Amino acid sequence: MLLRSRFEFSAAHQLTRHPGACRRMHGHNYQLEVSVGGPVDRDTGMVMDFFELERLVRDRVLQPLDHVCLNEVIEYPTAENIARWSWRQLAPVLTGLAEIAVYEMPTCAVIYRGEDER
């Protein structure tokens, strides 16, 4: 079963190689969805405790990224590179990490399932 939690953070970035408006320094209210796959534990009836997932995401992803200039943390911080960075922050501590979605605005997201890690 898949379990999914949604988070929000606000941050600035500047994409100097982008031909459009993202070339200038600006901010986004990002949404981050983290999905974990695994069996439902017979005793707890859960794949994972939502509070434990929230703690890991806050410590490893939100705390470093919220209200910062992303260029100082992630090389060329497109939504794609934010998703890959977030995966690498979480994968070592989050068994069953299945998918990370980064929404740069409510209608636009990238989905990363660890394709570049294999």
Could you tell me the sign of the dihedral formed by the alpha carbons of 48, 10, 84, 33, in that order?
positive
In one letter, which amino acid is 64? P
Stretch in the footprint of Zn ion (CB under 5 A) among 14-22, 48-56, 86-94, 109-117:
14-22
CB 103 within 8 A of CB 78: no
- Which parts of 1-118 fold into alpha helices (H)? 50-57, 63-65, 79-90
Active site residue 22: yes
83: helix, strand or coil:
helix
Stretch in the footprint of Zn ion (CB under 5 A) among 22-30, 37-45, 57-65, 89-97:
22-30
Q: Which is nearer to Zn ion, 7 or 76 (CB)?
A: 76
How many angstroms separate the CA atoms of 93 and 91, rounded? 6
Active site residue 104: yes
Catalytic residue among 54, 80, 99, 104: 104
| Contact pattern from residue 57 through residue 96 relative to Zn ion, giving x for each residue in contact according to CB under 5 A and a dash for the rest | ----------------------------------------
Active site residue 115: no
Stretch in the footprint of Zn ion (CB under 5 A) among 20-28, 47-55, 71-79, 95-103:
20-28
**Tokens 């981050």 correspond to what residue?**
32
22 near Zn ion, rule: CB under 5 A: yes
Binding site for Zn ion (CB under 5 A): 22
